[in-house]
Amino acid sequence: MMIVRRVWHKLVRSSTPRFLCPYPAPALLRAPKLPFTGYTNNSINIKIESKVGWRLFSSQALADGGMSGRIVDVPLAQTGEGIAECELLKWFVKEGDEVEDFQPLCEVQSDKATIEITSRYKGKVAQFLYVPGDIVKVGETLLKMVVEGAQVPTQKHDFTENIISHCSEGEVNKSKTCGVLSTPAVRHLGKQYDINLNDVHGSGKDGRVLKEDIIKHAIQKGIIKDSSGFENADSGDQFLRGEEDYSYVSAELGSQPGDKTIPLRGFQRTMVKTMSMAAKVPHFHYVEEINCDALVELKESFQNNNTEPAVKHTFLPSLIKSLSVAISKYPWINSRFNEDTMEVILKGSHNIGIAMATPSGLVVPNIKNVQSLSILEITKELLRLQQLALANKLNPEDITGGTITLSNIGAIGGKFGAPILNLPEVAIIAIGRIQKVAHFADDGNAYPVSVMTVNIGADHRVLDGATVARFCNEWKQLIEKPELLMLLMR
């Protein structure tokens, strides 16, 4: 026993202090019981709090968020393959709120889908680092939380010092707001004018930076020339209403009325990328008119015999199913081109995408395995996708994996359009509205016909004009004679 004690004394004296000793620790060094993780290379951080006492913890424990009572970072996790950043749409919680495990914290939108971010911890929201409208890269900290069991400081000044102690120099330079008491809307306003909130004198309680402080500082620096529009503002409510106002902050504060700078987000950013790539692909268009008299009668028959009030029958599901049957005869229309290997992949599944205009931009969800679905099943799936698209709730699975696209411009009112490829697909079809036009019989007499114009855009690296023309004739025949469609459906 004496030998062990002597060896232990040598270790304690010769090594760096570990705040461990073989005898009872002095009262000054006593701390709450903490799990011992062994001898590691992690540095030992000491935090002195007059109200809590001494606390000893390793930097690894803080990073992992496993230490109860500590402020932890909640990062933006990987929301899908190939996604590097997301737009923050809205917060479901407020600073100071208590949250449970797996409780939704916020909603973000990538270029593929809208996703809810849930909490990994049970605790209290300490600070938001982003406001709705900001672009957050995967891995960056969305907010800071005090995990369950922590004694949350009652004074905001103490909280500010707590935040400062956990902010690295790089984080301070990046956000320019670390340790400054302010609301997310005020921080966003400062970001709009590239103002370091640490340079702004806060006139609020405990030095809180208010909207008026930002405006006053901007006027002093010459960033804002005319302040008359803000002095009469109702205590800055126009900046605190919600995320729908953030897009117009720069326009309202600028000296050039009428000009608005609106950054492209989410699906709009995706459209920029895909259309820019598609413009580099050689493609051609094939236009044809289709007699839809039989299609009109078929749709009316479906609606008259409808036994499900929630289901509304339209022309589109029959067009989708007939398209799938035509693809079965011309599989090259439903393919992808691999430019690196100079190979064409004929897709077995008919995942037909439907271009939809939503408040968030153009999105193309697709109906999976149309070749195996009935017209009624297609109708229900189409309704589901439309509802999710309008609510901005589409899943990544709904948007990825498409093999060919239909763009129904006729639903808006256009006769025909020249669609651009939705890469890596090799074909896209724009269908115009069905309208009554006069046709002439062989004897010269005119008669009304319901006509729809279709425009097929095709990748000329894979498809030629003759193939597209034969495919279109097949599809046209199935639409004009639905009995053939019934005969060929499986």
Domains of the chain and any CATH numbers: 70-147 (2.40.50.100), 184-219 (4.10.320.10), 281-488 (3.30.559.10)
- Of 64, 101, 199, 464, catalytic: 464
Contact 362, 389 (CB under 8 A): no
Relative to beta strand 404-408, strand 352-354 is parallel
Q: Quick check: 304 pLDDT over 60? A: yes
**Mean pLDDT of the 253-266 span:** 67
Query: Is 217 assigned a catalytic role?
Result: no
- Res. 102 pLDDT band, cuts 50 70 90: confident
Alpha-carbon distance 164 to 170, whole Å? 12
Alpha-carbon distance 396 to 370, whole Å? 18
pLDDT, residue 370, reads 96
pTM, to two decimals: 0.57
Across all residues in the chain, what is the average pLDDT? 75
Ordered alpha helix ranges (H), 305-427? 316-329, 375-390, 396-399
Alpha-carbon distance 86 to 439, whole Å? 52
Pick the more confident residue, 478 or 251.
Answer: 478
Pick the more confident residue, 261 or 117.
Answer: 117
Query: Is 9 assigned a catalytic role?
Result: no
Alpha-carbon 226 to chain mean position = 37
SS3 109: strand
pLDDT, residue 465, reads 95
Least confident range from 44-53, 128-137, 198-207, 296-305: namely: 44-53
> Which backbone phi and psi does 383 adopt, to 5 degrees?
-65, -40
Q: What is the pLDDT of residues 379-438, one digit of tens each?
A: 999 999 999 988 888 888 898 899 999 999 888 877 778 899 998 999 999 999 999 999
Q: Quick check: 53 pLDDT over 60? A: no
What type of residue is 171?
E
Contact 374, 394 (CB under 8 A): no
